[in-house]
A = this chain, B = another copy of it.
Amino acid sequence: MKRTKIEQLMAFEVPAERILVKGWVRTKRDSKTFSFLEINDGSCLANLQVVADEKLPNYEEIRKLTTGASVAVEGAVVPSQGSGQQWELQAAVVTLVGAAPESFPLQKKRHSDEFLRGIAHLRARTNKYSAAFRIRSELALAVHRFFHERGFRYIHTPILTASDCEGAGELFRVTTLPPGERLLENDFFGVESNLTVSGQLEAEMLATALGDVYTFGPTFRAENSNTRRHAAEFWMIEPEMAFCDLQEDMDLAEEMIKYLANHVIDHCADDLNLFARFVDKNLMAQLGVLTGSAFERIPYAEAIRILEKSGASFEYPVAYGTDMQSEHERFLTEHHFKKPVMVYDFPKTIKPFYMRMNDDGQTVASMDVLVAGIGEIIGGSQREERYDMLATRMDQMGLSKEKYWWYLESRLYGSVPHSGFGLGFERLVMMVTGISNIRDVIPFPRTPKNIEF
């Protein structure tokens, strides 16, 4: 008999005489003549209540079932009297697939996030983490759907690279030389090679051929920081659009955030409800603001003025010409505007070489999207498409024009205005779930000294 997933069963409109369910025992209660098993198979948040009668031939075995054991149950789907759900399963056959000894760490009680990080191989069997990973999956699909509906092409840019797009340092080196060996000419690529921090430069090459493209892949930062917002390995979404300026870039960013939040609200109601109840009481209100407000758009200079006049006491000083810190970003979006904010036209001195110089010669056509609870969730810009301006910027910032010859050359042949942005996927998952630590939205997170699983 083909297995029915619990998610399917929950949508039944009429009872069924005989179906087969397979899953893991979450809890068991015994009455005098029955055992009630709560079974979860990961297809949805809900457990299925299985009623096992004492007349079953292996009733003794059933009474010994413990939390974590895997079972297969055949039986009838009947209206449930007391489980709080529409259906329950009247067991005809209960088969033990795999037992779970008493040492199974996920007994029915509340475990700390930190404890669960230590058993990342098992934590997806809890309500919270299975819900988080189902939402993560649904969000990833929504990303693809959003772009596909708009005629974007999905591209894969290289993970292994000899360039450093952001000039940010903090790179992981990749090598096939034995530890201690340093003769680059014997290395796999023959030159120093790193893990990518962004696929943007390559995405630009494809946007100026295919039109609208996007990447969705892993990126890396070897930052030795242990904040709840940073991981060494994370997934990033980077759209890049030919014939597109900064205004249109901001339009797409706003449209995308709203689309993704709405998608989760529409498609992940049960899982979302778990987070709204137990993780962030304010979650549904926040998602309402996100989907229902026009995002505020202000120049960087104005953002700085607002922060300076705010009277708020910040840990880091506010000054024109410096990067905004997370506390500043959150002040703007959470306290001042009380909705998402797009800050644009940052000073050129704090931005990478590839951003398009504005006519003032001082600022570049860049933008950050700030949201409550997270701060910056998107960073983007119009790219410098003018050959001479780009070459000058590269010289000023000490980038090798020989190394990036292909990037520069793309401005020589039919160059066009183009723009794009990067959206950190984990921050997106944090935004829609209210989970506050990035380690809890990635199945197997990578942070300093943490690579066990």
Contacts and interface: CB of A to CB of B under 8 A. Distances in A.
Contacts of A415: 70, 97-98
A5 B416 CA distance: 15
Contacts of A452: 162, 406
A414 B69 contact: yes
Contacts of A158: 233, 443-444, 446, 451, 453
A300 interface: no
> Copy number of this protein in the oligomer?
2
A98 B443 contact: no
A133 B161 contact: no
A98 B415 CA distance: 5
Contact of A442 (B101, B130, B156, B406): B156
A409 B98 CA distance: 13
A114 B112 CA distance: 56
B121 A151 contact: no
Given A22-B416, A122-B410, A443 B156 contact: yes
Contacts of A42: 209-211, 242
A448 B137 CA distance: 34
A414 B98 contact: yes
A176 B449 CA distance: 12
A259 interface: no
Interface in A315-351: none
A182 B179 contact: yes
A68 interface: yes
Contacts of A41: 211, 242
A452 to B, nearest CB: 7
A43 interface: yes
Interface residues on A, range: 35 or more
A24 B444 contact: no
Contacts of A172: 160, 174-176, 188
B157 A443 contact: yes
A193 B5 contact: no
Point out which of A181, A182, A193, A205 has the most chain B C-beta atoms below 10 A from its C-beta: A205
Interface string A13-30: 000000000101100000
Contact of A70 (B97, B99, B414): B414
Interface string A436-448: 0000001110101
A3 B242 CA distance: 11
A184 interface: yes
A224 interface: yes
Contact of A176 (B43, B121, B125, B173): B173
A134 interface: yes
A412 B191 contact: no
A313 interface: no
23 contacts: A5-B211, A68-B413, A97-B415, A104-B414, A122-B413, A124-B209, A134-B210, A141-B144, A157-B444, A158-B443, A158-B444, A158-B451, A159-B218, A160-B220, A160-B233, A162-B451, A172-B174, A173-B177, A177-B179, A188-B448, A189-B451, A190-B449, A191-B451
Interface of A: 3, 5, 7-8, 22, 24-25, 41-43, 68-70, 72, 97-101, 103-104, 119-122, 124-125, 129-130, 133-134, 136-137, 140-141, 144, 148, 151, 153-162, 171-177, 179-182, 184, 188-193, 195, 202, 205-206, 208-211, 217-218, 220, 222, 224, 232-233, 235, 242-243, 385, 406-407, 409-417, 442-444, 446, 448-453
State the 5 A-B residue pairs at the shortest beta-carbon distance, nearest first. Answer: A124-B209, A98-B415, A42-B210, A180-B182, A70-B414
